[in-house]
Amino acid sequence: MSTKASHSIGWIGLGRMGEAMATRLVKAGHGLSVWNRTASKADPLAQIGAEVVTDKTAMAHCATVFTMVSTTDDLKDILFGKGGVLSSNARPKRVVDMSSISDSGSAEIRKGLTEAGVAYLSAPVSGNAKVAKAGKLLVVASGPKAEYDAVQPLLAALGRSAMYVGEGELARIWKIAHNTMFGVIIQSLCEITLLAEKAGIPRHVFLASINDSVLGSMYTRYKTPALVNLDFTTTFTPKLLLKDMELGMGAAKALGVMMPTASVTRDSVLALSHQYPGDIDFSVLLLELARAAGMTLKSDNIEVSDGLK
C-alpha cells in the first residue's frame, strides 16, 4: 500500500486508452505511478515496472498527473470528490487531462484547480488504443503555454506528435470538432459500403479501393478490418461516441453554427447506443444500417491490413 507516489509522473485511468498510453511512457523510460478504480487493470503496468498506488491521494505528490477517464463528472470526482487527488494538503504542480470532455466542464475544472494552486492543461488525443500502441497518437493541448512547454517531451513520447492550439479550453473545441467528423465519417463510410455491396461489389474490394483513393485516411484504413470481417471488438463504444456527438451538437448550438450532417449522425448514433448499450465497437453501425437496408451481412473472412504497422 502506497500513500505517497514515488515518481514525479502519475497516471490515473487505465481503461482502453489509458493503459495503452501509460504503457508508452513506461516503455519510453519514464518512471510512472499509476492508479485505476478497478485495480486489476493496473496489473499490465505493474508487470512493466510502473508503481501501482492504491489511493488516489498518493498522486498529489507527483509533479505531473495525467488523467484519462470517461466523462467530465468522472474527472471532477477523481480530482475534487471524496478521497480525490486534492483531498489532502499535498498538491501536484499540474494536471494534464487527456479525456474527451466538454469545454464548459473543462473550464470548471480549470477554475477549481487554479484556485487550489494547480496548473491545468487540456490535452485530448486523436486515435484509438491500437493507434496509441502503434505510436501514432496525436495530442492537441491548450492552457498556459509554459505548462505545455514543461510537458511537451512527455506528450511527444505518447505518440507521433503534440500540438499547442492556444489558451483555455481550445483543445476541447478541437477534439469536439474532430470527433464530430469521426462520427460523420463512419456513418458515411458504412452507408456507401452497403450501397456498393448491395449493387454487387464485395465489401473488402470496395473498402480497399476507397482506402487507396483520395478519400482514404488512417481512420478509414484502421476501421476496414472491422467492417470487412464484422469484428466489433471494442475500440470505442457507441455510448462514448454518442457523448462526443452530443458535445458537438452542444458546441454548435452555443456558437450558432449549423451542422446538419452531424445532427443526422447524432440521431443515428443515439439509436445505435440504444441497440448496443454495452461493450462493443461503434463500427457495429454497419449492421444497423444493413438491417435498415434489408441486408444480412456475412464476414468476408479475409485478412486485411489496418494500415498501422
**Residues found near ligand NAP in the complex (CB under 6 A):** 13-18, 36-38, 41, 68-70, 74, 77-78, 99-100, 125, 128-129, 235-236, 240
Distances (CA, A) of 139 to 15, 30, 98, 222: 18, 18, 8, 18
Phi and psi at 229, nearest 5°, equal: -105, 10
Q: What is the dihedral of CA 114, 124, 12, 92, to 10 degrees?
A: -30
CB of 220 to ligand NAP, least distance (A): 15
Least distance from C-beta 175 to ligand NAP, angstroms? 8
Of 234 and 275, CB closest to ligand NAP:
234
Q: In the numeric block, which cell numbers belong to residue 3?
A: 500513500
Minimum gap (Å) between residue 105 Cβ and ligand NAP: 11
Task: Concatenate the DSSP letters of all residues of 44-62 into one string.
Answer: HHHHTTPEEPS-GGGGGGS
Please say whether the beta carbons of 63 and 85 come within 8 A. Answer: no
- The residue (of 39 and 295) whose beta carbon lies closer to ligand NAP is 39
- Cα distance between residue 257 and residue 245, in whole Å: 14
Task: Determine contact, residues 57/76, Cβ cutoff 8 Å.
Answer: no
Q: Based on CB atoms, which residue is closest to ligand NAP, 17 or 171?
A: 17
Cβ at position 140, least distance to ligand NAP in Å: 11
Residue whose beta carbon is closest to ligand NAP: 15
Strands 51-52 and 33-35 turn out to be: parallel
- Comparing CB distances to ligand NAP, the nearer of 84 and 143 is 84
Integer Cα distance of 294 and 297 in angstroms: 10
Nearer to ligand NAP, 15 or 44 (CB): 15
Shortest spacing between CB 237 and ligand NAP, in angstroms: 7
Residue 74: closest CA among 33, 42, 46, 102: 102
State the nearest-atom distance from the C-beta of 197 to ligand NAP, in Å: 26
- 69 vs 249 by CB, closer to ligand NAP: 69
Coil/strand/helix, residue 78: helix
Q: Which residues contact 77 (CB under 8 A, 6 or more apart)?
A: 84
Nearest to ligand NAP of 197, 244 (CB atom): 244
Least Å distance, CB 23 to ligand NAP, is: 13
